Structure 1
Amino acid sequence: MGLPEIGEEEGGGIARRLWVKFRDDSIFALYTPFVVCLASGVLDPQSFLHCISQDVYFYRAFVQAYDLAEDCADDDEHKAIIRKLRKRVLKKLNTHDDLVREWGFELPSESISDNATIKYTDFLLATASGKVEGEKFQSKIATPFEKTKLAAYTLAAMGPCMRLYAFISKEILDLQELDQSNQIYKKWIDTLSSQNFEETALQIEDLLDKLSVSLTGEELIVIEKLYHQAMKLEVKFFSAQPILQQTVVPFSQPLDPAECNLSIFCDFDMTCTTIDSSALLAEIAIRTASKADLNRCETQFAQMSSDDLRTTWGVISSQYAEEYEQCVGSIMAGNKVEEFNYEGLCRALEQLSDFEKRANSRVIKSGVLKGLNLQDIKWAGEHLTLQDGCEGFVQEIVKCENLKIDVHVLSYSWCGDLIRSAFSSRDLNVRNVHSNELAYEEFITTGEIIKKVESPKEKLQAFNDIRKGHKIGEHLTIYIGGSVGDLLCLLKADVGIVIGSSSNLRRLGDQFGISFVPLFSGLVKKQRELIKDCSSNWKGPSGILYTVSSWAEIHAFFLGS
């Protein structure tokens, strides 16, 4: 998924940095029923007309906000830019009805602003008039610097609106090759993605940067809060647009809790987490050995010095990485298939299964997992950093009392206690953890691994065993993963979602005819099929996996905003 040029880099002025920081909010706007139906070209015209009828209220609020901002600006150049921006909005306001007719639509003779529009315009005008963080700004007695600060606050409340429209329109235009003939809203989208619209958005952002240069740290925090609040209100605007048709998003919405059970499966290492759990266990082992070094004691469990242990871990890690690449290379040496071949993939991954089991046996034999304290493992799990958005998504899932949803974690991790601790410490009620376990004697690890899930085949077996407890026709499954070991489960789930950028997963997928489709693109196609067939079939065709760049996409797809 691409983002506008303004958001590609972390550097630049405050406008660029804030867009990057809050880009996940833009995803929630993109995945709304309104935008997905719009992108598919099958949005009900009444829904579209309602949305664009709200433009008049936005334009009027922008004109007033620019008036107030110009009065506050202290620099003549800044005042000139604001006047130019205000003139553009006035032109849009005066020509709005004619422009809509050029798009092929006729606005109703009367329209009223909806609640989402009112909330944003009230927020914008309150900010522009000086009501920021609950305090009324007295412009008559304010110093020039204080008034300039207020102008910056106003631009911060306006910037996300323009940038979000530009972002959404460009994302939709990227999909036009899917079905140009069916895109009846293309003229409107072209307007929002035009050079003139982009120039306006950039002028607002550039002016915000200039007005913010002299602000204090506290005032920049206010800028950030205003920007984020404006972004959230804009997302709510798109979410609140009335939809008169069945939609594929959010995924959980159409499900009947009386008739349908839903299971969400996900991998753990590098899917939920930012580091591999084996690296974390290695760190615990080395710290434990270091304590033993300092105390000059040797127990029956801690038999290696920290230096020896670090060296051993390094050898094991290097050998694993080298042999893993050799294993994948061996699989890739076979002939590439033209059509999706699940059985061939299963046979090929048996090589990987054998390799993973040998690697685990090597770890056990080395003794590097001896002497770890269960309390230290749980503490590490509690402080383990999860991927951005993962925790929030799981929190919302476990709170869904109106749906029958169960969450399962399937992992190669050596230590289920680490996984359970990572979730339980965040009040995430994820009880279904399927992984290997470490063996203990009086809460100290013996170095043995209780083997349960070591390979892609065993992951698939656990996945299938869970599904057997449900009636197939009434049970939907979503699998979220990002490694080669997840491939078989991803393909067997009703919806397989790939997160991350594993090159080996992509290579093997291409080798065996798997199609990787960006989730938003897939949803647009599903929406078009839904209107055509009056049904949403997520079970076919086989061999398709949906890709995302963040947990925000998964959250927006499944639960909405």
Structure 2
Amino acid sequence: MAIPPKSVGAVIPTEDGLASRFWIKFRRESVLSLYSPFVICLASGSLEIDTFRHCIAQDVHFLKAFAQAYELAEDCADDDDAKLAISKLRKGVLEALKLHNSFVQEWGLDFVKECPINSATLKYTEFVLATASGKVEGLKAPGKLDTPFEKTKIAAYTLGAMTPCMRLYAFLGKELEALLDPNEHDHPYKKWIRNYSSEGFQATTLQTEDLLDKLSVSLTGEELNIIEKLYHQAMKLEIEFFYAQTLTQPTVIPLTKEHDPAGDCLMIFSDFDLTCTVVDSSAILAEIAIVTAPKSDQNQPEGQITRMSSSELRNTWGELSQQYTEEYEQCIESMLPSKKEFNYETLHIALEKLSDFEKRANSRVIESGVLKGLNFEDIKRAGERLILQDGCTNFLQKIVRDENLNANVHLLSYCWCGDLIRAAFSSGGLDVVNIHANELSFQESVSTGEIIMEVQSPIDKIEAFDKIIQGCSDDKRNLTVYIGDSVGDLLCLLKADIGIVIGSSSSLRTVGDQYGVSFVPLFPGLVKKQKEYGADGSCCIWKGQSGILYTASGWDDIHALFLGH
């Protein structure tokens, strides 16, 4: 059970610049680059040297295209300050070209004969040069521009096509530098990482973004939309470049890379409330009850289920919510051990106390009558309009629709009304997801206020989880993944081969920490796994009840883990 929480203001980035807004908006692409097999292997230090050589050999083609694009952009700019800024950026690229040979000598590259350009590099460089030449949808050809002002748009468009590449490498440099062990002196790619995390490269990236912002100041909304499309396209082409790198070594991701539907069984489990959704389902049901309840001075028709007035409902919900919150905190506090040590069975016993509390809280909800009179159609409409977490629907759709995966997806939820979940997923075309939740009792499409209890506690969840696993064929290799956000998910998270935590539940962290559970950010965790993978050459085995849970910042991380790009 989850009583509607008090409203909490969302954390919204304060950056006002165009480049910053685009970077935030297209976060998914940055995540996909981070979780590419190439970057994971590079970060771990296990990337095969030939793969790395082939990748950085493409830098020459990137740098030449950037230098030419800057030259064309400088010619289009009509402001002396802008021309000077573009000229400095171009000189920086030319210097990088001169230094490139010496920079990669330690990796055994021979640039006497230039390495041929690969298809992914060609796509990006042709895109940049076409943009710098004015070949952009909605813009006239550069030789036929009516006014000098019209021509200046090309400079802004060109920066829009180049900035994402700079920011992406600056981002990767910082992310990978944070994983470098100061005591590890033999990481073969430390110089590459340090180059892109350096103050100099970070400063150049900021200068490029600042210039894009300045060149865009006088543009119309329609023209800014063109830049946004160029920025996004550039990001996608960069991601394609990382995933186009040919790796012959085994990698830990994507998880589905070597999946054999005939011999493997992929089981994905997820919580629903605040794991898939933005708002807790109990808050939705409370809102429906209050909005559709009769006013205190209204007469209710005879023969229908008698309901509380809207004001009575609001007061009762408030009392239930306050009591739940206070007793929940007391329950969590009472089950914390004095000694930190991971022991799954001990944790299981402790969570029985929380299970008893959840059942008592649910009984109070039924006895209060707050769910009486809810109309099935109102619930269905609310479910269809329910906002899910970014990337959740897209990920689940790709998993369930991929016939080559033949994956099983199960939702284990405390939600009081399984119909609400079914409506939320059916509206996104996800009718094949298996839903395990409680159900409201209806009489002629009107709720009686009773709840048919199926999953209302941590113990119920783990019992349902175990039962589903036991139903799998013994002659298949099982990989189980559980995605959750709360203490109620803890047993399932730990029992699964891979447990992934979304969100920042303080009670989950408190209980987990006190019971010796380690919370490891997903990306560093995968880099560590890749090191182990490359160390002995054997297949990386994920095992449940290790006491390790992986934390993800969102569903895009999970998408990249399973499917790549």
- TM-score w.r.t. the length of structure 2 is 0.95
Amino acid at match of 1:244: T
3-state SS of 2:22 partner: helix
Alignment of 1:193-232 (within 5 A): 193-232=197-236
Equivalent in the alignment of 2:438: 436
Alignment of 1:251-262 (within 5 A): 251-262=255-266
Identity of aligned residues (%): 61
Of 383, 386, 394, 2:385 maps to: 383
Contact 2:291 2:310 in 1 (8 A): yes
Of 316, 339, 360, 1:336 maps to: 339
Equivalent in the alignment of 1:495: 498
3-state SS of 2:250 partner: coil
- Residue 299 of structure 1: CA displacement? 5.7
Contact 1:53 1:107 in 2 (8 A): no
1:505 aligns with 2:508: yes
Q: Deviations over 1:111-155 (max 9, x none)?
A: 211111111111111111111126543345332221222111110
Equivalent in the alignment of 1:177: 181
Equivalent in the alignment of 1:392: 394
Amino acid at match of 2:339: K
- Residue 204 of structure 1: CA displacement? 0.6
- Residue 23 of structure 1: CA displacement? 1.4
Equivalent in the alignment of 1:422: 424
Distance 1:476 1:251 in 2: 9
Distance 1:117 1:291 in 2: 66
Distance 2:403 2:186 in 1: 39
- Residue 258 of structure 1: CA displacement? 1.6
How many pairs were matched up? 552
Contact 2:49 2:107 in 1 (8 A): no
Of 305, 313, 316, 1:312 maps to: 316
Amino acid at match of 1:328: I
Equivalent in the alignment of 2:518: 515
Single out whichever of 399-408 and 174-183 deviates more from structure 2: 174-183
In structure 2, relative to structure 1, the CA distance for the partners of 1:488 and 1:516 (3 Å cut) is same
Contact 1:271 1:500 in 2 (8 A): yes
- Residue 11 of structure 1: CA displacement? 2.0
CA-atom RMSD, angstroms? 1.8
Equivalent in the alignment of 1:458: 460
In structure 2, relative to structure 1, the CA distance for the partners of 1:100 and 1:318 (3 Å cut) is same
Of 480, 485, 494, 1:482 maps to: 485
Choose between structure 1 and 2: higher helix proportion: 1
Amino acid at match of 1:508: V
Single out whichever of 293-302 and 379-388 deviates more from structure 2: 293-302
Amino acid at match of 1:478: V
Structure 1: state its 5+ residue gaps: 1-6
3-state SS of 2:287 partner: helix
In structure 2, relative to structure 1, the CA distance for the partners of 1:127 and 1:61 (3 Å cut) is same
Structure 2: state its 5+ residue gaps: 1-10
Alignment of 1:99-114 (within 5 A): 99-101=103-105, 103-107=106-110, 109-114=113-118
Equivalent in the alignment of 1:356: 358
Distance 1:8 1:373 in 2: 36
Distance 1:294 1:156 in 2: 60
Amino acid at match of 2:334: S
Contact 2:160 2:227 in 1 (8 A): yes
Contact 1:159 1:204 in 2 (8 A): yes
- Residue 351 of structure 1: CA displacement? 1.1
Q: Deviations over 1:34-69 (max 9, x none)?
A: 000000000011110011011011011101110110
Amino acid at match of 1:374: F
Of 41, 50, 61, 2:65 maps to: 61
In structure 2, relative to structure 1, the CA distance for the partners of 1:146 and 1:335 (3 Å cut) is same
Equivalent in the alignment of 2:126: 122
3-state SS of 2:181 partner: helix
Distance 1:106 1:425 in 2: 54
Contact 1:398 1:429 in 2 (8 A): no
